Amino acid sequence: MSLHPQSKAVLDMMAANPGKPFEEMTLDDIRAMRSAMPNGFALAGLAEQVARVENRTIPGPGGPVPIRVYWPTAQENLAILFYFHGGGFVFGTPDWVDEPCRTLAKHSGAIVISVDYRLAPEHRYPAAAEDCFAAVSYVAGHAEEFGADAGRIAVSGDSAGGNLAAVVSLMARDRKGPAISFQILIYPCIDYLDQSPSMKEFEEGYFLTPSAMHWFWKQYADQEHAQEPYLSPQYGVDLDGLPQTLVITAGCDPLRDQGEIYAEKLRAAGIVSWVKRYDGQIHGFLHMGAVIDAGREALHYAGQATARVLRTGSAS
């Protein structure tokens, strides 16, 4: 599959300014990169205007969990869309995904809640997942504090955040709530042991590499946990009772196949699930809307799909 010219331009820019490979980073390097990139790659483009944005904290299993709340309008009883940022479980904050969350709020009409979960390697599996589940549980139980409708909840995330969205859906089912109606998994990493064809096809030169992905996994969890569904949802034997699912993939991404395989497994289990692949795009394109048009298009598509599902119960 050939690269889209806009994605190739981004890769050329990165190649001209190479950094230290992820798999060679020490904890000091990780912390330095976090400090040097408070807003991520800053390629998302202009931020959409929403009615209100507020930083709060909610109780969590390891202490207070910061969240950022986006209200698209001043109306009450709005649906809720949680967003879990990517960054390989190691990097990322709500600042990294501020523009995408604003766009999702505007196009879904839902209150978007971005969760600042604990990061690895300081906090290992399942800390991130438990923080995200705690946030969903708290907001669902205190919906009136947010002007929200606890009966209309969706979860979403990109890359490691896509993993966390899938895991939260599993946890909510297994723990008897909260009820989640829809999940959006954006180029998710959901298979620690993935050996699918896309991992070979896009092994080098497409931003994310399989070796870097393996390094990210190791920061979060030991391989002995690799087939636990709360780490690798791909290994969930029982997929009954999960919500409708949209999987967004990038055509030139080593993670492409694992996301699409998961969507097919959900369909086989009777779950309404579909894939929206953006051919020629690279991992992370959703947050590069200033330079990759498909990034904005994918956000609009995800927001509109959320609006349909949470309003009518169906994406069609």
The residues carrying an active-site annotation are 159, 253, 283
Contact yes or no for 315/272 (Cβ under 8 A): yes
Alpha helices in 74-221 (DSSP H): 98-108, 127-141, 143-146, 160-174, 197-201, 210-220
Pairing of strands 65-71, 52-58: antiparallel
The number of C-alpha atoms within 13 Å of 290 and in the hemisphere containing its C-beta is 10
d(CA 243, CA 164): 14
Residues 6+ apart with CB under 8 A from 148: 77, 78, 79, 80, 111, 139
Q: Which of 36, 4, 3 is nearest to 19 (CA)?
A: 36
What's the rounded Cα separation, in Å, for the pair 87 and 141?
A: 28
Count CB atoms within 10 A of the CB of residue 200: 11
* Concatenated DSSP letters of 202-213: TSSSSSS-HHHH
Q: What are φ and ψ of residue 83, in 5° steps?
A: -125, 130
The residues, any chain, with a CB within 8 Å of residue 245's CB and separated by 6 or more, are 182, 183, 184, 185, 263, 266, 271, 272, 273, 274
